[in-house]
Structure 1
Amino acid sequence: MIKHIVMWTLKTDSDKGTPAENAAAMKEKLEALVGKIPQIRELEVGVEVFESAPQTDAILYSVFDSREDLKAYATHPLHLEVVEFVKAVAAERRVVDYEI
């Protein structure tokens, strides 16, 4: 089983909205992938991050059965649409994948 965690700090000067608005949009777009990308076993997005170092505006926690399933998710066209939005609003991204 693969755990995939991504943390973002969002731009304060994005033309797509405030960091809070963009975090909410990211949450909506990412959670909408559940049921559309079959490799996703679990997925949740947190935008009410009250403590992190360094600062984090949004966090994704997801679970996949295998590395191959994670790769299929990462390259899925619906996921890539979300990636384009995220790239436009994110200032920084941190990611960790691990197997249990």
Structure 2
Amino acid sequence: MIINNLLLKLKDRNNDNIVKMRDILLSMRGKIEFLRDLKVEVDIRHGKSSYDIILITEFASMEEFDAYLIHPVHIEVSKYIEGELEAGAAVCYESPKA
């Protein structure tokens, strides 16, 4: 199983923008056949070094992850993120199958 974690720090870090970003990320659920699981969590510390949101996605294989990256729904969400993002970080790893 492939797990991809994406940390997002927004330019405008107010609560309304964070909630909107969370909702947009969650809107991918059920629309991308390769996406086995999707979680979106919001930071509760709000520190200077904190990121606002973590997106956790799961895929059966790297091939499915690669297909997700070019899926039209993902591309649309990515374009929105690009306009709102101050900083981002990602960690993608292979996890033993459950």
Q: Same fold (TM over 0.5)?
A: yes
Q: Deviations over 1:14-61 (max 9, x none)?
A: xxxx542222122112211111100011101112x1247831111101
- Written as runs of structure 1 = structure 2, the 5 A alignment for 1:61-100 is 61-100=56-95
Q: 1:55 aligns to what SS in structure 2?
A: coil
Percent of matched pairs sharing the same residue:
32
What TM-score, normalized by structure 2, do the two folds share? Answer: 0.86
Q: 2:44 aligns to what SS in structure 1?
A: coil
Of the three residues 44, 55, 59, the one matched with 1:50 is: 44
Aligned equivalents of 2:17 and 2:48: distance in 1? Answer: 20
Q: Residue 78 of structure 2 aligns to which amino acid in structure 1?
A: V
Q: 2:32 aligns to what SS in structure 1?
A: coil
Q: 1:9 aligns to what SS in structure 2?
A: strand
Indicate conservation of the 8 Å contact 1:3/1:61, yes or no: yes
What TM-score, normalized by structure 1, do the two folds share? Answer: 0.85
Which residue does the alignment assign to 1:8?
Answer: 8
2:36 matches 1:41: yes
Q: Unaligned stretches of 5+ in structure 2?
A: none
Indicate conservation of the 8 Å contact 1:11/1:19, yes or no: no
Alignment length (residue pairs): 94
Q: Deviations over 1:47-83 (max 9, x none)?
A: 2x12478311111011100001111111111111111
